[in-house]
Amino acid sequence: MKVNHTLKPIYDKNSKILILGSIPSIASRDANFYYAHPQNRFWKTLEKIFNENIDNDIDSKIEFLYKHNIALFDVIKSCDINSSSDSSIKNVIPNDLTKILKNSKIDTIFTTGKKAYTLYNKYIYPKTNIEAIYLPSTSPANSKKGIENILIEEYSKIKDYLN
């Protein structure tokens, strides 16, 4: 099924890092916001590494991102995908990050999951020359044993780039 990315990037002039996923899941597209699947651990992981509670509404999540100078977007502008399965992604058209990078202080890019990392390196890195830092997926599809501790350890790297 052909899917077009409909979510706006979240960033402002003070954003220092950019976190890129692949493309919003069905749950995220339905909710019109990033990492909206109730079993996705993205927001819970950020809560733990920043030792802060994030209310479950969109405005609170955006406020949290701005407060910590974190920008959020995705690698893919459109693609063919079955359900929300990254492994099925084909016919990728990447997002253009030029406006985001030009209008912020972003100098570090993180990708969530192998597909986002691979596609970033293939389509976007040649234009930005900013090497991406890989972070494991917070998707419920990545539910191997012990992943919560791995996520917290890996995502804690984000804080090193925000000082």
Are 91 and 99 within 8 A, CB to CB? no
CA distance 119 to 144: 23
Longest CA–CA separation in the chain, Å = 42
More confident residue, 146 or 4: 4
Give the domain 2-160 fold.
Uracil-DNA Glycosylase, subunit E (3.40.470)
CA distance 104 to 69: 10
24-60 pLDDT, tens digit each: 988 999 999 999 999 899 999 999 999 999 999 999 9
117-147 pLDDT, tens digit each: 999 999 999 999 999 999 999 986 666 646 6
Q: Give 97's contacts (C-beta < 8 A, 6+ positions apart).
A: 18, 73, 124, 127, 128
Q: Where are the domains of the chain?
A: 2-160
